A and B are shown apart, each in its own frame.
Chain A
Amino acid sequence: MSYKWDVLCEEGLQFFGKMSASMSHEIKNVLAVINENAGLLQDFVYMHDTGMPIDAKQLKGVSQMIIKQVRRADSIMKNMNKFAHTTDQLTKAENLNDILDIVTKLAARFASMREVSLEKIPPDEPINIKTNPFLLENLIWLCLDSAMDSVGQGKTVRVFTKKIDNSAQITFSQLDSMPEPTPEAFPDKRIEALLCALQAEITVDSKAGTINISLPI
């Protein structure tokens, strides 16, 4: 089996860059809210200095807003950290749901921008697989990206995992408006290279509105 390293490297770097840019953009949004609230506190101090009483309720509101934004930033950074650490080892035993969780969280902002909802259904039991976590994340992202494009505005993409015999399956469903894929468009050379490296298979069922990734356990 020959891996297409040039394709994997190029796509991997683009994927990492896209996700990092998205997360840093979200952090900037959080900083902007904190900055406005810090400014609001300065306004209160200025008003106090000019003889107006400070309302404790207003201060509490600002404090709660800052706490909310710090928690939001912490959650973004935790996911960013988990994502960055998936490049630590080329092969690792992982809970498939944890990998899916990272990617769906990374994809949340892209979904929101397209006005698409993502729904991740938790599995009944953990599915442990030995895989290259970064490449698998990249593959899940590319499928999710296609799925979000095909459902369009206002729709929901449902994602779930299940174990079938000696394989683990990731399903993207509710893709009702998905067109019949043409071989040259889907899977493209990037997905092909990732499938090859992960020894995975992909099936697209336009009638059922699903994309299935099958992975060896």
Chain B
Amino acid sequence: MTNAQSTPSQIKILAVDDEVDFLNTLSRRLESRDFQVTTASNGEQAIKEAKIGGFDVAILDLKMPGMNGQELLKILKENHKFLEVIMLTGYASVDSAVECTKLGAFGYLEKPYDLEKLLCVLRDAYETRLKKKFPHDQKRMKELDLLAAGDPMAALSAMMRLDDLEK
């Protein structure tokens, strides 16, 4: 599926949904905000992409044919330690939210959502990923905490710049 060439300062997102029309539009909107998005329409394809992709955050639909979002979440978290995962669902329920959280999901959003809301969760997920990757860098953590309080896109850009210093 789509896999644009990334520049070092782009956040790499893996978006997985069997609703291809939804996936393509979401990908387009995130790419216009300077994310690098790779899409997959099923779990097997997502696992393959994840092996080669080096993604920062994955966005997974909960209900998909074949391997469902929860099963995919479990596999991705087992194999990609620092990957943060945001779950999307048509109908949110407390049970499935708890189950996804237990499996390591960072966030859980109900469709349709405001993109701003998704951007906020993406920002927080990316911040968490950086904190886990660089747990001993206190100065960096303080900077991230300050950035996280502001505009999601501005905060993300600043976080990416900090992350690039480590690459």
Contacts and interface: CB of A to CB of B under 8 A. Distances in A.
A51 to B, nearest CB: 15
Contacts of B113: 35
Given A25-B91, A31-B111, A36 B65 contact: no
B32 A114 contact: no
A29 interface: yes
A113 B111 contact: no
A182 to B, nearest CB: 28
Given A25-B63, A28-B90, A68 B28 contact: no
A115 B42 CA distance: 11
Interface residues of B, number: 18
B66 A65 contact: no
A36 B32 contact: no
Contact of B19 (A32, A113, A114, A153): A32
Contact of B22 (A25, A29, A43, A113): A29
B90 A33 contact: no
A53 to B, nearest CB: 15
B137 interface: no
A161 to B, nearest CB: 28
Given A28-B90, A39-B29, A33 B63 contact: no
A113 B66 CA distance: 6
A32 B90 CA distance: 8
B22 A36 contact: yes
A196 interface: no
A91 interface: no
A65 B63 contact: no
B97 interface: no
B90 A113 contact: no
Q: How large is the interface on A (under 10, 10 to 19, 20 to 34, 35 or more residues)?
A: 20 to 34
B47 interface: no
Contacts of A29: 19, 22, 90, 111
A33 B65 contact: no
Interface in B113-130: 113, 115
Interface in A1-38: 21, 24-25, 28-29, 31-37
18 contacts: A24-B91, A25-B63, A25-B90, A28-B90, A28-B91, A29-B19, A29-B90, A32-B111, A33-B21, A33-B22, A33-B25, A34-B112, A35-B113, A36-B29, A37-B25, A43-B29, A68-B21, A113-B63
Interface of B: 19, 21-22, 25-26, 28-29, 32, 63-66, 90-91, 111-113, 115
Given A25-B63, A29-B90, 17 more contacts: A21-B91, A28-B111, A28-B112, A29-B22, A29-B111, A31-B111, A32-B19, A33-B19, A33-B21, A35-B111, A35-B112, A43-B29, A65-B25, A68-B21, A113-B64, A115-B65, A153-B66
